Every structure is written in C-alpha cells, then in structure tokens.
Structure 1
Amino acid sequence: MNLQDTVLMQLRDLILSGQFEPGHRLAEQQLAERLGASRTPVRAALVTLEQEGLVEANETGKYLVRQFTAQEVTDAIAVRGHLEGMAARLVAEHGVSRQLQSQLQSVLDEGDRLLADNPLTIESYAAYAVMNDRFHALLLDACGNRALQRAVALNDKLPFAPASAMLPMQGAVAMDRDWMLYAHRQHHMLFAALLRGESARAQALATEHTEVAQMNMRLALERRAESEQYMPGIRLVVG
C-alpha cells in the first residue's frame, strides 16, 4: 500500500460525498494541499479516476468532475455482479490450482489482518482496497474466459463500478467496519465454495457480494443528504 492508494480513496470519497460540483476542475496543487500529499500521488490518482469514469480531461488536459446518476452506478454494480458470478462459476468448474489456492489464502489472510484494526484508519481502508482488488483480479484471471475479462474491464470504466470503488469511508466508522467485515466473510465463503467445486453456490455468492457495494451507495447518498441540510450550497454529483 502506498500514498497513491490513500489519496485515490480520499478523492473517490470526496466526489461521492458531493464535495465537488459536476464540471469542477480538480487542480493538482489544491488537492495536494487539502490531502496533505505531494502532487505526484494526486496526479496518479486522477489518472485512475479518469479510467474509472469519475473525472474527465478537457481539451487543455485539466481534470473535471464528471456528472453521472445514481442509477448509472447501481446498474454498473449490478452488471459487475453478474459478470463476476459467471467468473466464479467457471473457476469452480475448472478447479482451483494449488497456486491459486495459495494466492487467494494469502489475500484473505491479509484482509483478516487489516480488519482487525478497530477503528479502521484511512491507511487501513486504502490497504484493504488493494487487497480487495487483488482478490477479485485473481478470480477473474483464473476464469479463463477472455470475453468475460474484457466485459469486466469495459464495465470498470463506469463510475464506481470497479470492485473497490464503492468501499465505505470514515463518515460512520463503526457501520463501515461492520459492512467490510461482512463483505470479507463473503470472500471466505466464496473461497470455500470454490475449493469444494460448488459452482452454483460460488456464482450466487459472487453475485450477492455486490449487494454490499449497492448498500454502500445508498448509505453514501443518505450521508450526503444529511450533510446538505447543513451545507445547502453543495450540489449533488450523483443523482
């Protein structure tokens, strides 16, 4: 985990919470000062956010916040759930190699270690996001279906569609940690189903897993609505 991961998660959270209006220019120096970082990790995070469909570059190369709707986000998450469900089913049908078993177990152990922190820190969140991305990438790589892999890559270009893009942040720490613990238990259950070759259960678990992201979306919108009662000048980025 590095500073870029922390900056990336903070910027995602600022966008989702409505801190920037659609069309707002994201200036590297101002963001660096706000986040207590240098411009280098901010610049790298902005490139990633462009790839995820959260920001766009104008004709001069400056990054602007994209406008998108809550429905776009929920639709993209739902599509990811079905695609990853198919990937999990294929992995279970093919069988889990010793190498894949070792890699997945290592990732799960890392997640267990990170979630032992209470309360979670911003560094914990960012490191968990890296771990979470790794878990999902291992399954997708192991499914062996290139068309499916391309479909996931295309869907990941939509706002908040990638696996870790809807992880909660520190608005309500206790609730966020509870949801992350639940999501990680799902990782463990999916791993067990894969080892037993239970393809239907693996598919169902992987599809259901995205409900955590959908719930995080709903909670984020609720939190932002509450904050806008005190900061009515902030416009919604989503919805």
Structure 2
Amino acid sequence: MGTAVETAVSELRAMIVNGELPVSDRVTESSAASLLGLSRTPVRAALAQLETEGLLVKLEGRGYKIRPFSLEDLEKASEVRAALEALAAGRLASLGPSQETVAAIESSIAMTEGIVSRSAVTRREVAIYQEANELFHTTIVDACDNDFVRLGLEKIANIPIVAPGAFTEVEGMAQAEMLRITVGHTQHVIIWDAIRAGDAVRAEHMMREHAGAPVRYARLFIGEGYYKKLLSSGIVERGSAGPG
C-alpha cells in the first residue's frame, strides 16, 4: 500500500506542478484513480497528503481543487526557504564539512563551472544545472545537523520555482538563462568559500540572498517571458502582479 500511495502522490504532484490538471476542475478520488489506473484507497491517501502540502484545497462535499498561487505566495515561500537554508549554511560553516560533504559540493560546483565556461546554454546544460543546483542545496541541508531544517523545507519543496533545482527553461531566452545560471554558480562559489573558511555569518547572509531570489531573479533576468510561462501553466493566478 505504501508504494501505491507514493506512486499516486508523485504522479499527481507532477501533474499539478506542471500544469497538466486544469485548475478549474474538481479532483475526486474516482477521477484521480481513473487517471492513474490505481484503486481509490491509495489515491484517497495521496489526495490528503497533497492537501497537507498545500497543493490541493478540500471542497465542501467531495473532491479537491488545485490551489493556484499568486506571485506574492511564491515570494513568501521563497522567504521561508531562504531563512531555513541560511540557517543550514551557517550551521555547516560552524560545524565544518565532512569529507563526503566536500566531495559532493565540489562536484556540484565543477558541474556548473563547466556550464558557465560555455558561450551558450542548451536544454542539456539547463538539465545539468538543475541536477548540480539540487545537489548543492540538499547536501548543505543534509549536513547541517538539524533535521528540522529539512522537514521545514519539505513543506514548500513542491511550490513552483521555489525549490532547489526548479529551474524552468523559457523558450527564446537562452541568453537570459545563461546569465541566471552564471549568477547562481558565482553565489554557490562564494557560499562554499565561506563555509570552508568557517565564516558562519557570511555563509548565512549569502545563502539567504541566493535561496530567497528565485522569483526576484526570474523577473530581473527573464521578466515577462517567465511570467507568461507561469500563467500558462495555470499554477499562478491571473491578476497577480506581473514583472515590475
């Protein structure tokens, strides 16, 4: 049963975040079970979990509605992520990284360094950056010796563009994406240098800036193209403030 529930949660979550389920539709146990080809029992548990995660809203009577986010919601979630990851970076700087942590972070930085040395970015490079970015952030969180940081981050991990690795390509914006990747790589290097030097204050401050910036940097580097993509997914509400 656990495997069936995990499958249902994973597949429904991906459909919601990728905009594959219309926000206006009522999601019921029977409709979701039919869509996934599963029985209603694991689907019932999966829908309840996705409600807890904040991706679904329980309706009166039967069923759920996909929760649309405003840009303000995304900014608030980014603020929480920034505070938690800043705490993780500061703690790791104070504790000192293990050899395993050093190997993982330096592998991540080497991956992104290989991208920023290129003259252009392709879908392949975007995918590599996603992998490297997620490795960088999850390694620091896992190594900070505070499980509550990880548990807190799990609550917002599936909100669009907020989680590490949630880098979304925008067609026709390769130059802007390259700039965004370059800035991200540079910040990773600065954060890691502070951690290796045992400078908890600098590590915390730089991580807060870096981890709290997804929406702000999307507006800065990509602007209206990114906003239109978020709107087209159905996850972000129309009428929420666009690029300013």
Residues 77, 156 of structure 2: 8 Å contact kept: yes
1:155 is paired with a residue whose SS is coil
Percent identity, please: 21
Q: Where does residue 222 of structure 1 map in the other structure?
A: 224
Relative distance call for 1:54 and 1:199 in structure 2 (3 A) is same
Q: Where does residue 196 of structure 1 map in the other structure?
A: 197
Name the stretch that deviates more: 110-119 or 190-199. 110-119
Q: What TM-score do the two structures reach when normalised by structure 1?
A: 0.68
**Structure (1 or 2) with the larger CA radius of gyration:** 2
Q: What TM-score do the two structures reach when normalised by structure 2?
A: 0.67
Q: Where does residue 85 of structure 2 map in the other structure?
A: 84
The one-letter code matched in structure 1 to 2:144 is C
Q: How does 1:133-144 map to 2 (within 5 A)?
A: 133-144=134-145
Relative distance call for 1:112 and 1:65 in structure 2 (3 A) is farther
The one-letter code matched in structure 1 to 2:169 is M
Question: 5+ unaligned residues in a row in structure 1: which ranges?
Answer: 1-7, 26-46, 228-232
Deviation digits for residues 110-150 of structure 1 (CA, Å, limit 9, x no counterpart): 11113334321112112210111011010000000011221
CA distance in 1, matches of 2:152, 2:131: 21
The one-letter code matched in structure 1 to 2:117 is A
Q: Where does residue 123 of structure 2 map in the other structure?
A: 122
The one-letter code matched in structure 1 to 2:130 is A
1:123 is paired with a residue whose SS is helix
Query: What's the offset of the Cα at 1:109?
Result: 0.4
Query: What's the offset of the Cα at 1:180?
Result: 1.0
Q: Where does residue 169 of structure 1 map in the other structure?
A: 169
Name the stretch that deviates more: 211-220 or 75-84. 211-220
CA distance in 2, matches of 1:195, 1:187: 12
Query: What's the offset of the Cα at 1:183?
Result: 0.9
CA distance in 1, matches of 2:226, 2:195: 38
* Structure 1 position 111 matched with structure 2 position 115: no
Residues 24, 64 of structure 1: 8 Å contact kept: yes
Residues 67, 237 of structure 1: 8 Å contact kept: yes
Paired residue total: 202
Query: What's the offset of the Cα at 1:97?
Result: 1.9
Residues 115, 124 of structure 1: 8 Å contact kept: no
CA distance in 1, matches of 2:228, 2:158: 29
Higher RCO (CA 8 Å, separation ≥ 6 residues): 1
CA distance in 1, matches of 2:163, 2:76: 12
The one-letter code matched in structure 2 to 1:122 is R
Residues 21, 237 of structure 1: 8 Å contact kept: no
Relative distance call for 1:234 and 1:133 in structure 2 (3 A) is closer
The one-letter code matched in structure 2 to 1:218 is R
Q: How does 1:1-239 map to 2 (within 5 A)?
A: 15=19, 22-23=23-24, 66-165=67-166, 167-171=167-171, 172-218=173-219, 222-223=224-225, 237-238=236-237, 239=240
Query: What's the offset of the Cα at 1:210?
Result: 2.6
Residues 22, 237 of structure 1: 8 Å contact kept: no
CA distance in 2, matches of 1:22, 1:125: 28
1:203 is paired with a residue whose SS is helix
Residues 87, 139 of structure 1: 8 Å contact kept: yes
Residues 23, 66 of structure 1: 8 Å contact kept: no
CA distance in 2, matches of 1:75, 1:204: 18
Question: 5+ unaligned residues in a row in structure 2: which ranges?
Answer: 1-12, 27-45
